[in-house]
Structure 1
Amino acid sequence: MSPLGPVAERFTEHGYDIAYHPVVAEEHFHAPTVTTSFPDFTHFDAVLLMGAPWSTYDHTLIGSWVLPEMHQLRQADSAGVPVFGICFGGQLLAAVHGGRVTPAPTPEIGWTAVTTDDESLVPSGPWFEWHYDRWHLPPTAVELARSPAASQAFVLRRNLAVQFHPELTPAMLTGWLNHGGAAKATEQGRDPASLLIETNRQAAAAAQRSRALVDGFIKLTSSRQEPEPAPRRRWPDRRPQS
């Protein structure tokens, strides 16, 4: 499973314990029709949905686990459990709450300028993108950020979705490129070596933006303006990043 980088680090600094729940093991990536027993999302203080290399709507391929997960997300929303969705996770939030996910006319791969309406919640960046699908907003969602190719962030009740990858680190990108990503990037006209060079250049500033994003999510979903020291809390992660 890929690490969660500065996103997990910031949650830990806010007093959260992390309960990981990977769904598809690496050896099953080419045949991800697996089953899993999700923990009850309503038993956690927050849920983090990570990326995945598949499409949320490909139920023939991943319906064995994505449909039960969608049920869990509806239950979490009804219970008021905060959910933070990243890339595939954000698309899943859109699909669960009345939006749609479709192939994007233009895949986004690499560091991308993102325009935001709320710097305190979703800092403008560049942010790292790697996605081939895009969401269409749920009816009552409020879009917070966008790029020319896709909506980049929305909020709906206590759910926050982002299309980019705030968890990315140079080591993580190296792993993606070494496990098939280099060929996929090349197919889309992107140079893998240049992506890694730029990621190293952006790493420090991007980590600070990621920390601010987590801070914004916690403020958005908490009755407190600043989280205070408290007993350790737990939240589940759902799968390796795409």
Structure 2
Amino acid sequence: MLRVRVLVIQHDHICLPGSVGERFAERGYELAVHQVVEADRFDTPNVDTDFPDPAAFDAVVAMGAPWSAYDHDAVGSWVLPELDLLRRADAESVPVLGICFGGQLLALAHGGSVDRSATPELGWAEIDSDDDALIPSGPWFQWHYDRWQTPAKAREVARNDSSPQAFVLGRNLAVQFHPEMTSEILAGWFAAGGTKDAAAFGLDAEDVRRQTRERDVANRQRAHRLVDAFLDRVATGDEADAGR
């Protein structure tokens, strides 16, 4: 049986692949997780890391992170090499799914920009999609203070009043939200400082926990649909062909 592998770039110890990784595994992919910042360096994340060669994999998933993609003083030691990795993956036709911070890195890697958002999003938020079979409209979990400017050559697929929410460029799919989210992952985020962030944003952490628990099953199903669409449409190059 032919082995297929997905490189999961996990930027820290709390932004786990969750339902996204689960669906890749169900689709027959072996997950190779490369964690960039270990738990004991969470407060000093400007670490050195040796990224694997993306050409050795059948897909790449770039996960979220609590830092800003443009804050090179904090994370430039590995953000700049990761941008090179994403460009190499594109050159080698290796499909990439970028989630939140990972989506912002995809924007930067392909000519877009990232800056502070005037309207940060924390918690569950609605998005509007041009293609529900690829990016379902409706509520998705958000936790971001920055936003990307969509690369000129990309096709924006989804958005809301706060920011662009998804784009396709070649075999790359970027999403601003967190399809991987589960109540278990959220507990880890809150333990690592998310409760304080929620309070500063005017959110009741217990209410966000409750909403997430209530949406666990439905969000898992939507995450699986998104991964399926990524693998069946974007990773195959069909979306790039359709955009010509």
Fold in common (TM above 0.5): yes
Which residue is 1:141 aligned to? 154
1:214 CA displacement? 0.2
Which residue is 2:73 aligned to? 60
The count of residues paired between Structure 1 and Structure 2 equals 225
Secondary structure of 1:113's aligned partner: strand
1:125 CA displacement? 2.3
Which residue is 2:189 aligned to? 176
In the superposition, the TM-score normalised over structure 2's length comes to 0.90
Confirm or deny that 1:50 pairs with 2:88: no
Q: Which amino acid aligns with 2:21?
A: A
Instruction: Give a deviation string over 1:176-205, Cα, whole Å, max 9, x none.
Output: 111110001100111101000000111111
The within-5 A match list for 1:1-242 is 1-2=13-14, 3-223=16-236
1:33 CA displacement? 1.1
Q: Which amino acid aligns with 2:101?
A: F
Change (3 A) 1:176 1:122: same
In the superposition, the TM-score normalised over structure 1's length comes to 0.91
Change (3 A) 1:153 1:224: closer
Q: Which has the higher contact order (CA 8 A, sep 6+)?
A: 1
Q: Say whether the 8 Å CA contact 1:111–1:127 is kept in structure 2.
A: yes
Moved over 6 A (4+): none
Q: Distance in 1 between matches of 2:162 and 2:62?
A: 22
Q: Distance in 1 between matches of 2:144 and 2:186?
A: 14
Q: Mind listing any 5+ residue stretches in structure 2 that lack a counterpart?
A: 1-12, 239-244
1:84 CA displacement? 0.2
Q: Say whether the 8 Å CA contact 2:168–2:234 is kept in structure 1.
A: no
Q: Distance in 2 between matches of 1:223 and 1:160?
A: 12
Change (3 A) 1:94 1:223: closer
Q: Distance in 1 between matches of 2:35 and 2:88?
A: 20
Secondary structure of 2:84's aligned partner: helix
Instruction: Give a deviation string over 1:83-115, Cα, whole Å, max 9, x none.
Output: 000000000000110000000001100110110
1:166 CA displacement? 0.5
